[in-house]
Amino acid sequence: MQKITTFLWYDDQAEEAVRHYTSVFDDSRVVQVQRYGEAGPGTPGTVMTVVFELAGQRFIALNGGPHHTFTEAISLYVDCATQEEVDALWRALGEGGQHGPCGWLKDRFGVSWQIVPTVLTELLSDPDPVRSDRVMRAMLTMSKLDIQALRDAYEG
């Protein structure tokens, strides 16, 4: 097991969320499912936790009840090599959720994601402040990030 694992608290949708996430990302799988026993606090036999991997990264999902909810203060950042990957993840993760600005979205379970093309970091890191500023200005007008539009802004 990795040293640090992201732990996600759901009301009662952990298993459904994990099924969705593992269908979206390659190299993903359910590792283990634990169920509540007679000691509770959940209903005996219902899913307590699901250990799963997305693109080789391990997570744990808990059906912990309605006591805590997700906020945008924590998000899962997905580095995308191509526009096709950005488009596919934007569509799959955003379905039933909310699209936000600058590559951010909230999925139907309330988890915030950043769907970001690798090239954005490269363009924003350019030592020429005029070029990087044009890229930032372009990004700030977008919901789903558009690689070609970011490159066009970079070139001026």
Q: Which residue is associated with the tokens 């993903």?
A: 28
pLDDT in tens, 126-144: 999 999 999 999 999 999 9
The dotted CATH code for 70-156 is 3.10.180.10
Give the mean model confidence (pLDDT) for residues 146-156: 98
pLDDT in tens, 6-54: 999 999 999 999 999 999 999 999 999 999 999 989 999 999 999 999 9
Fold of 1-68: 3.30.720
In which residue ranges of the chain is CATH 3.30.720.100 found? 1-68
Distance between CA atoms of 108 and 52, rounded to whole angstroms? 19
pLDDT category at 5 given cuts 50, 70, 90 is: very high
The pLDDT of residue 111 is above 90:
yes
pLDDT of residue 2: 86
In which residue ranges of the chain is CATH 3.10.180.10 found? 70-156
- Helix residue spans in 25-104 (DSSP H): 83-94
pLDDT in tens, 62-89: 999 999 999 999 999 999 999 999 999 9
pLDDT category at 103 given cuts 50, 70, 90 is: very high
Q: List the strands of the sheet with 47-54, edge to edge.
A: 6-10, 57-63, 47-54, 29-35
